[in-house]
Amino acid sequence: MHGPDGHDYKNKIQFIDIQKPHFISYKHLGDGEGDEDVNFQSKIIFEKAGNGTNLVMEQQFTSKQELERVNEKYGAIEGGKQHIGNLAKYLEKIK
């Protein structure tokens, strides 16, 4: 992930559940940088839509303040967009 400060952050994750072809659920574990580590869960849901697929990404933080902190420090919202973009590129490649 590329943060708002231009820094490239490592993004360690732990998969919690994968239900093909419905969803992927995982926990962000951060990378050990900084005083407070990142710790939140994401779920990417795949929904059939005609000849394509709709994708929904949900993220769960421990609090609104934690979401705001992670977004301000690491650019979590932009990072989520980058993450989905990278997933789309990967899925196109293996199609």
31 in a structural domain: yes
2 found inside a domain: no
In a domain, 5, yes or no: no
Residue 71's domain spans which residues? 12-94
- CATH number of the CATH domain containing 36: 3.30.530.20
23 CB-contact burial (10 Å; exposed 0-12 / middle 13-18 / buried 19+): middle
- Tell me how many domains the chain contains: 1
> pLDDT tens digits for the chain (95 residues)?
555 566 676 777 899 999 999 999 999 887 756 545 788 899 999 999 999 889 899 999 999 999 998 888 878 888 888 888 888 898 889 87
Q: Is residue 3 part of a domain?
A: no
Tell whether 24 is covered by a domain.
Answer: yes
4 located within any domain: no
- Is residue 64 domain-resident? yes
